Amino acid sequence: MSEQCFSSLQLQPELLKNLQSLSYEEMTPVQAKSLPSILSGKDVIAQAKTGSGKTAAFGLGILANLDLKNYQPQSLILCPTRELADQVANALRQLARTLPNVKILTLCGGVPIRTQVKSLSHGAHIVVGTPGRIAKHLRKEYLTLASLTTLVLDEGDRMLEMGFQEQLDDIINAAPKKRQTLLFSATYPPAIQSIAKRVMKNPEMVKVDDGHDELTIKQHFYKVGSREERMTALRLLLLKHRPKSAVIFCNTKNDAMDVTDELLDFGFSALDLHGDLDQVDRDDTLARFANKSVSILVATDVAARGLDIESLDMVINFFTSSNPEVHVHRIGRTGRAGDKGMACSLYSEKESFKMGRIGEYIGQEIVPEELPSKAVLNDDPVEPEMVSIKMRIGKKQKLRAGTLLGILTGENGIKGSEVGKIQIFDNQSYIAVKREVVKQVLRKLSKENWKNRPIKAWKVGN
Ligand code: AMP
């Protein structure tokens, strides 16, 4: 039996069967290296990023040891953002679907605490949440960790970067001393090493090489002078390569906001994503970027964390990170799943030291290239093919994507091929449709009712 086979592990037959049905044939490197230790109850630190299969690594460990008769939380998974917590909870539900009645609850900020308290009163085997909200539940004694056996810190580096140190300490202090602690982190800075030292017992270290970056992502570096020149360089790259989906990284929130404003002035389709957005605005931004009605997202590292964007054409470092691990993490967002990705980084003379560090880290000498010809500055920016339509009805009003698609493509409707992504949130929904049919869709929706009330729908953005 291959060491990479899940069947070499001590897992319940139901779990193994499910992995087969999910077409998980072999373990990913992080799973192969960490699962034996996780299953034997050891503390593990795994340096692995999104896309490595880390969720299933800790997820299988948790599910293998769950006592289904005990409805008090036995596992707590802390994540930096609500999106990541939702992703993790969904991944766990999928892994647990062949086990009887595993209850997985998410507890994140941005939603009323009262409904969460009610859900908690029905019991849960596994809780996934963000540190601020979990700490609040503990403080108010809505949540108890008396039965906790496994604590997972997912994307630990980002949680610290987001300033969750105090809440993490409170949560760890409220957890039983005898427990398993699993720490997943894309980078391993001193702050993480220190937390690991304080809260883990003889942790096993796991590190995987994700060689894919060098293989499929072509990196380009450009030297720029003034701030104005940097902006021109950004426009040249965007106008030359015309990405349909690109993320531009800045190191601060203010830079992200300024760059977005400037791009909008130049006629680009752009939105900013930073830590100061409230949850509604964040959901809005992410929905519109993911459905291809906005082509550029200008983001800070913290805010971009937990994003799972398929098929990103380009990543541009408007300001390059001084941490090479962060740099590699940023550019790893393009070129997923074997697609060819393109990563461009801008730097000034003053930032040359960053290039030295990055070059050393990726084992490559960094040679700046020439920027595209200024002639492209006369071209119009890419206009997104899709437009977002928003409605104030969602899951809570029992709206389903299939039903909505049926309405859109029904009598006097549009073709299925003219509908893009449909995203249904609790109380609102986004539909992406081809630009040419927006008016027709709005007209159609204005004549429709949902649960005996007229549907209110409007176009968001340009
Ligand atoms: P993660 O890094 O946890 O976000 O996982 C990345 C993706 O890989 C998810 O879509 C998983 O469903 C998938 N995945 C995880 N483990 C495996 C595996 N052993 N084989 C195939 N796909 C996997």
User: Per-residue pLDDT for 282 more than 50?
Assistant: yes
Q: Is 53 in the pocket of ligand 1 (CB under 6 A)?
A: yes
Check residue 150 and give its pLDDT.
Answer: 98
Q: What is the number of the ligand 1 atom nearest to the C-alpha of 52?
A: 2
Q: Is 24 in the pocket of ligand 1 (CB under 6 A)?
A: yes
Q: Is 52 in the pocket of ligand 1 (CB under 6 A)?
A: yes
Cβ atoms < 10 Å from Cβ of 338? 9
52 C-alpha to ligand 1 centroid (Å): 7
Q: What is the number of the ligand 1 atom nearest to the C-alpha of 6?
A: 19
Q: Residue holding tokens 């409707």?
A: 413
Which residue's CA lies nearest to atom 13 of ligand 1?
53
Which residue's CA lies nearest to atom 14 of ligand 1?
53
Per-domain residue ranges of the chain: 6-207, 217-378, 386-459
Contacts of 141 (CB under 8 A, 6+ apart): none
91 C-alpha to ligand 1 centroid (Å): 9
The b-or-e profile of 380-415 (16+ CB within 10 A means b, else e) is ebbebebbbbbbebbeebebeeeebeebbeeeebbe
Q: What is the number of the ligand 1 atom nearest to the C-alpha of 55?
A: 3
Q: What is the number of the ligand 1 atom nearest to the C-alpha of 28?
A: 19
Q: What is the number of the ligand 1 atom nearest to the C-alpha of 94?
A: 12
CATH 3.40.50.300 describes domain 217-378: yes
Sheet holding 270-273, edge to edge: 217-223, 341-347, 314-317, 246-249, 296-299, 270-273
Q: Are 435 and 292 in contact (CB under 8 A)?
A: no
Can 6-207 and 386-459 be said to share one CATH topology? no
Q: Are 460 and 319 in contact (CB under 8 A)?
A: no
Q: Is 54 in the pocket of ligand 1 (CB under 6 A)?
A: yes
Q: What average pLDDT score do residues 260-265 get?
A: 98
Q: Tell me the pLDDT band of 308, cut-offs 50, 70 and 90.
A: low
Contacts of 85 (CB under 8 A, 6+ apart): 77, 79, 106, 108, 128, 129, 130
pLDDT tens digits for 113-130? 999 999 999 999 999 999
Give the residue among 131, 79, 430 at the shortest CA–CA distance from 289: 430
Q: Is 306 in the pocket of ligand 1 (CB under 6 A)?
A: no
Q: Is 18 in the pocket of ligand 1 (CB under 6 A)?
A: no
Q: Is 288 in the pocket of ligand 1 (CB under 6 A)?
A: no
Give the gyration radius of the chain's Cα atoms.
Answer: 23
Highest mean pLDDT among 128-137, 274-283, 361-370: 128-137
Q: Is 413 in the pocket of ligand 1 (CB under 6 A)?
A: no
Q: How many helices (H) and strands (E) does the chain have?
A: 18, 19
- In sequence order, what DSSP letters do the residues of 235-263 get, joined into one string? HHHHHHH--SSEEEE-SSHHHHHHHHHHH
Which residue's CA lies nearest to atom 11 of ligand 1?
53
CA 244/CA 383 separation, integer angstroms: 9
Q: Is 56 in the pocket of ligand 1 (CB under 6 A)?
A: yes
Q: Tell me the pLDDT band of 215, cut-offs 50, 70 and 90.
A: very low
27 C-alpha to ligand 1 centroid (Å): 9
CA 161/CA 249 separation, integer angstroms: 16
C-alpha count within 13 angstroms, C-beta hemisphere, residue 172: 17
Check residue 311 and give its pLDDT.
Answer: 67
Q: Rounded to an integer, what is the distance from CA 247 to the centroid of its chain? A: 13
Do strands 453-454 and 457-460 pair parallel, antiparallel, or not at all (unpaired)?
A: unpaired
CA 52/CA 65 separation, integer angstroms: 22
Q: Are 354 and 321 in contact (CB under 8 A)?
A: yes
**Cα-based distances in Å from 381 to 20, 146, 241:** 46, 57, 10
In the chain, the largest separation of any two C-alpha atoms, in whole Å, equals 69
Task: Give me the phi and psi of 144, to 5 degrees please.
Answer: -120, 145
293 C-alpha to ligand 1 centroid (Å): 28
Q: What is the mean pLDDT of the chain?
A: 91
16 C-alpha to ligand 1 centroid (Å): 15
Q: Residue holding tokens 């393009």?
A: 334
Which CATH architecture group holds 6-207?
3-Layer(aba) Sandwich (3.40)
Give the residue among 35, 38, 30 at the shortest CA–CA distance from 182: 38
User: Per-residue pLDDT for 345 more than 70?
Assistant: yes
Check residue 214 and give its pLDDT.
Answer: 42
The b-or-e profile of 188-197 (16+ CB within 10 A means b, else e) is beeebeebbe
Q: Is 450 in the pocket of ligand 1 (CB under 6 A)?
A: no
User: Per-residue pLDDT for 338 more than 90?
Assistant: no
Q: Are 184 and 152 in contact (CB under 8 A)?
A: yes
Sheet holding 429-434, edge to edge: 419-424, 429-434, 386-391, 457-460
User: Per-residue pLDDT for 374 more than 60?
Assistant: yes
Which residue's CA lies nearest to atom 19 of ligand 1?
27
Cβ atoms < 10 Å from Cβ of 273? 22
First CA to last CA distance, the chain: 57
Which residue's CA lies nearest to atom 6 of ligand 1?
51
- What global pTM score does this model have? 0.60
Q: Are 327 and 299 in contact (CB under 8 A)?
A: no
Q: What average pLDDT score do residues 323-329 get?
A: 85
Q: What is the DSSP letter of 26?
A: B
Please list the alpha-helical segments (H only) found in 123-252.
131-139, 156-161, 165-174, 190-199, 212-216, 227-241
pLDDT tens digits for 389-445? 999 999 899 998 889 999 999 888 898 899 999 999 889 999 999 999 999 999 999
Check residue 99 and give its pLDDT.
Answer: 94
Check residue 58 and give its pLDDT.
Answer: 98
51 C-alpha to ligand 1 centroid (Å): 6
Q: Is 55 in the pocket of ligand 1 (CB under 6 A)?
A: yes
Which residue's CA lies nearest to atom 18 of ligand 1?
24
**Cα-based distances in Å from 428 to 218, 273, 390, 392:** 38, 20, 7, 4
Which CATH architecture group holds 386-459?
2-Layer Sandwich (3.30)
Which residue's CA lies nearest to atom 5 of ligand 1?
53
Q: Is 316 in the pocket of ligand 1 (CB under 6 A)?
A: no
Q: Are 385 and 433 in contact (CB under 8 A)?
A: no
**Cα-based distances in Å from 301 to 82, 137, 160, 222, 317:** 16, 28, 13, 21, 11
